[in-house]
């Protein structure tokens, strides 16, 4: 896990929002519909020194859309360290393959299931 200096976090998150890949764009379009259920979703959200793809703060749920690079051993090790940190901070991490991120219905099904285990919408 590469450390990010605090003064670099916000500009980096902004840059990531502007350069999102197709699965993240589709996922963002789908996740924004959760507002109708009372859930606010943040994109490229800062948690400590990490930037996560999506976060539902009230449910402390992180949603990561993982491309094929996440199948590499070194990236999986980094992901495990990130997940351990996030979980130590009280967050639950939902990692979904890019293929799921490209399907709005599949993505929302996974996220709603995770949210149901949290409790009713705010």
> What's the total number of domains in the chain?
1
Domain assignment present for residue 27? The answer is: yes
Domain of 86, in residue numbers: 6-117
Give the pLDDT confidence of 38-78 residue by residue, as tens digits: 999 999 898 988 889 999 999 999 999 988 676 777 778 88
pLDDT single digits (tens) 71-106? 777 778 888 999 999 999 999 999 999 999 999 999
**Is the residue at 1 inside a domain?**
no
Best CA proximity match to 116, nearest among 34, 27, 17: 34
Q: Domain containing 50 — which CATH number? A: 3.40.960.10
In a domain, 122, yes or no: no
What's the token pair of residue 96? 């979904």
Query: Phi, psi (5° rounding) for residue 55?
Result: -145, 140
């Amino acid at each position: 896990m590469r450390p990010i200096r605090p003064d670099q976090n916000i500009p980096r998150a902004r840059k990531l929002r502007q350069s999102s890949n197709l699965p993240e764009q589709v996922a963002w379009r789908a996740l924004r519909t959760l507002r109708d259920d009372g859930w606010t979703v943040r994109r490229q959200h800062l948690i400590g020194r990490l930037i996560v793809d999506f976060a539902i703060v009230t449910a402390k749920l992180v949603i990561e859309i993982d491309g094929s690079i996440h199948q590499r051993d070194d990236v999986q090790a980094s992901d495990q360290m990130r997940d351990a940190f996030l979980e130590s901070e009280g967050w639950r991490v939902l990692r979904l393959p890019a293929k799921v991120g490209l399907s709005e219905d599949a993505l929302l099904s996974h996220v709603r299931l995770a949210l149901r285990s949290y409790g009713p919408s705010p």
